[in-house]
Amino acid sequence: MTTRAWNFSSGPATLPEPVLRRTQAAVWDLDGSGIGVLEHSHRGREFMAVLARAEALVRQLAAVPADYDVLFVPGGASLQFAMVPMNFLGPAATADYCLTGVWADKAAAEARRFGAVHVACSSAADGYAHIPDAAATRWSDAPAYVHFTSNNTIYGTQWRQPPAAPAGVPLVCDASSDIFSRPLDVARYGLVYAGAQKNLGPAGVTLVIVRKDLVARGHADLPTMLAYRTYAEHQSMYNTPPTFAIYVVAEVLAWLVEQGGLAAMATHNRAKAAILYDELDRSPLFRGVVRADARSDMNVTFRTPSPALDAQFIATAEAAGLRGLAGHRSVGGMRASLYNALPVAAVEALVACMRGFAAAHG
């Protein structure tokens, strides 16, 4: 049997061991049905139970109010970049975007295909190393919605609090890289979306939590598969949903409940991130990339003094069984993704490796 590496990948990312073990068994036989989860009809009672369980667990974990729909949509978070404006923006309307990185920029670029985009704030000037504050934010007169990215996967910044959108304006959040890593006050949002492949499960499905009145307000003339209404009216089962991905998401959600829910997860994640940030603050060789008040608990970005030494560290870490530490190709350096399922022991192993490397190269 091979030894599993510590996986710091930004996504698809490490999953909880009990989830992987249960999934292994379910691939052969789902709940004693004599049929594996990959082979079940999506309309059969066994998969319907899986889907109902996934939705119920989302509602339980985030205390989702009754006037919100919980939807499972294919196409990744990138499809949400387009579905949000397709449903809620029109040629005569403006949406406000907070630009805190490439993913936020991509979301805004999709919106520009359907209406006007007002840049309410941006951290581009310092290479997205901070989160803009209220004083640096200007809303347009009557935005259709405000869009922001709660955690910026590439840069390693995270909003502590969502931006204070003007009263009555729906707040839309791309929470792909920090969903359910901390408590989520759903009532503050019009819509929250997150690709599953970081904190929720495998690639292939995106969780959307959306207020029902917004779903109803969505444009009527959209292609069927691009309207939120379709997913809401058919319990995410208008067509064949990504059944396996939804199964694993349900297992991850059940694991989150077993861990004590979102508040416990936040404590766990904060503690993990603190171990690494403390090391960066004291290391003679490594330093953090972003402003201290914007540091993400999910993606920790750091560097040595040179790209050559960064590459050498990444190779050293790989040889020690620490994988996925290279920064995003657009920024270089290192990035350690510390999603829910990553154990403390992985962070401790990383810190030990950094110390050894610093001693040898400092």
Residue 325 near residue 312, CB atoms below 8 Å: no
Position 190 contacts ligand PMP (CB under 6 A): no
Binds ligand PMP by CB under 6 A, chosen from 6, 103, 255, 286: 103
**Torsion angle, CA of 293/295/297/301, rounded to 10 degrees?**
-170
Residue 174 designated active-site: yes
Minimum distance from residue 188 beta carbon to ligand PMP (Å): 19
| Nearest CA-CA partner of 305 in 322, 328, 331, 287 | 287
Residues in CB range of 226: below 8 A, 6 or more apart: 82, 83, 86, 87
Question: Considering only residues 5-24, where is the footprint of ligand PMP by CB under 6 A?
Answer: 11
Q: Compare residues 194 and 250 and give the one whose CB is closer to ligand PMP.
A: 194
Q: Determine the interface stretch with ligand PMP among 34-42, 120-128, 174-182, 221-229 (rule: CB under 6 A).
A: 174-182
| Nearest CA-CA partner of 169 in 199, 198, 190 | 190
Q: Determine the interface stretch with ligand PMP among 131-139, 172-180, 259-267, 348-356 (rule: CB under 6 A).
A: 172-180
Minimum distance from residue 248 beta carbon to ligand PMP (Å): 15
Q: Determine the interface stretch with ligand PMP among 109-117, 171-179, 227-235, 344-352 (rule: CB under 6 A).
A: 171-179
Instruction: Take residue 58 and report the two structure tokens written for it.
Output: 């989302």
Instruction: Take residue 105 and report the two structure tokens written for it.
Output: 């920029």
Residue with tokens 């949002």: 189
Distance between CA atoms of residues 255 and 237, nearest Å: 24
Position 199 contacts ligand PMP (CB under 6 A): no
Position 100 contacts ligand PMP (CB under 6 A): no
Per DSSP, the three-state class of 1 is coil
What mask of x and - would describe binding to ligand PMP in positions 41 to 70, judged by CB under 6 A? ------------------------------
Positive or negative torsion for Cα 177, 181, 182, 186: positive
Catalytic residue among 198, 255, 297, 310: 198
Position 157 contacts ligand PMP (CB under 6 A): no
Minimum distance from residue 141 beta carbon to ligand PMP (Å): 28
Distance between CA atoms of residues 160 and 296, nearest Å: 9
Binds ligand PMP by CB under 6 A, chosen from 174, 279, 297, 310: 174
Instruction: Take residue 193 and report the two structure tokens written for it.
Output: 């979306």
Catalytic residue among 6, 69, 96, 103: 103
**Which pairing describes strands 191-195 and 206-211: parallel, antiparallel, or unpaired?**
antiparallel
Residue 213 designated active-site: no
Binds ligand PMP by CB under 6 A, chosen from 195, 201, 288, 327: 195
Position 153 contacts ligand PMP (CB under 6 A): yes
Q: Site for ligand PMP (CB under 6 A): how many residues?
A: 11
**What one-character DSSP code corresponds to residue 155?**
T
Binds ligand PMP by CB under 6 A, chosen from 33, 78, 312, 316: 78
- Type of residue at 176: S
Residue 141 designated active-site: no
With CB atoms as reference, the residue minimizing the distance to ligand PMP is 76
* DSSP assignment string, 83-146: HHHHHH--TT-EEEEEE-SHHHHHHHHHHTTTSEEEEEEE-GGGTS-S---GGG----SS-S-E
Position 77 contacts ligand PMP (CB under 6 A): yes
Q: Compare residues 103 and 302 and give the one whose CB is closer to ligand PMP.
A: 103
Minimum distance from residue 106 beta carbon to ligand PMP (Å): 7
Residue 208 near residue 349, CB atoms below 8 Å: no
Q: Which residues are catalytic?
A: 103, 174, 198
Please give the residue ranges that form the binding site for ligand PMP (CB under 6 A): 11, 76-78, 103, 149, 153, 174, 176-177, 195
